[in-house]
Amino acid sequence: MAAGIFAILDDISALMDDVAVAAKLATRKTVGILGDDLAVNAEKATGFLSSRELPVLWAITKGSLVNKLIIVPVALLLNLFFPAAIKVILILGGLYLAYEGVEKIIEYFFHGKKTSDKVVEKEQQDDSAAEKAKIKSAIATDFILSIEIVIIALGSVSDKTLAIQIITVSAVAILATVGVYGIVAVIVRMDDAGYNLIKRSGNKGFLSTLGTVLVKSLPVIIRILSVVGTIALILVSGGIFVHNIEYIHHLYPQIPSIVKELALGLVAGLAAVLVITVGKKVFSSLKPQA
């Protein structure tokens, strides 16, 4: 009986070793998309009152965990029974990301005044409603990015046993959520940490200087993340098209991949914005007037 127990423990140890190696490989392959995920979510998790930053971030984090609880088993089942569906889902997700990224660019360059008016109008609206809307948008974007993370992780262990696939993909999904939103939490609380340092140092010395740097750096970091997050949305979408559409993958191989992905993301985003804008106008014209 003792020999049987030791044999089981040996099997478990071997499985964990395999999972550790597979998880390391999967994490390395998803590091790019995790960087994009960080930029996008840091931008989306900011812009709230200081007292609401952590509650909002926690709400988005819980939504992200729920996303992965849905995506991981569905991805594993589809990979097992209907692998062709994974590419279709990825491409649809890519279109959504491209649309969101290009819409931000169009809003910034062509609707600057309207954006300012919207800010004033939003300040007059119920704060909780605006907060819920932003949380919902962040969770929706996280859902698409989570699909990409899970699929890439799954692809890196597709030749392994089902047990290793399940444990590895689950581990990467958890690490992605904890790591990304942990870093986002640090970023959004930079100013509070800075104010505390200034207060404790009596506005003198190195700690005061460090606190001032943290406070002044946050708006700059947020602006940078806003730009990086938008570019990340377009690059991720373009990467989805390049890696999952055979014709596009082999099209113009001499062009650097990042340029190709950016161009494809922009084209797909513009097409999506055009279709959705026209669709809204057609729907609005068909809607019976009150």
Block residue for tokens 């919902």? 136
Alpha-carbon torsion, ordered 30, 33, 259, 270, to 10 deg: 140
Q: How far apart are alpha carbons 266 and 272 in whole angstroms?
A: 10
pLDDT at 122: 42
Instruction: Name residues of the chain where pLDDT drops below 50.
Output: 2, 6-12, 14-15, 18, 114-125
pLDDT at 23: 54
pLDDT at 39: 66
Distances (CA, A) of 26 to 127, 156, 166, 175, 186: 40, 6, 12, 11, 25
Q: Helix 2-44 to helix 127-156 angle, to the nearest 10 degrees?
A: 130
Q: Is 102 helix (H, G, I), strand (E, B) or coil?
A: helix
pLDDT at 118: 45
Give the DSSP letter string of 56-87. Answer: HHHHHHHHHHHHHHHHHHHHHHHHHH-THHHH
pLDDT at 40: 66
Which residue ranges make up each domain of the chain? Answer: 15-275
Q: How far apart are alpha carbons 168 and 174 in whole angstroms?
A: 10
Tokens at residue 174, please?
């958890």
Q: 67: which residues sit within 8 A by CB, 6+ positions away?
A: 139, 142, 143, 146
pLDDT at 271: 93
**Do residues 215 and 70 touch, judged by C-beta distance below 8 A?**
no
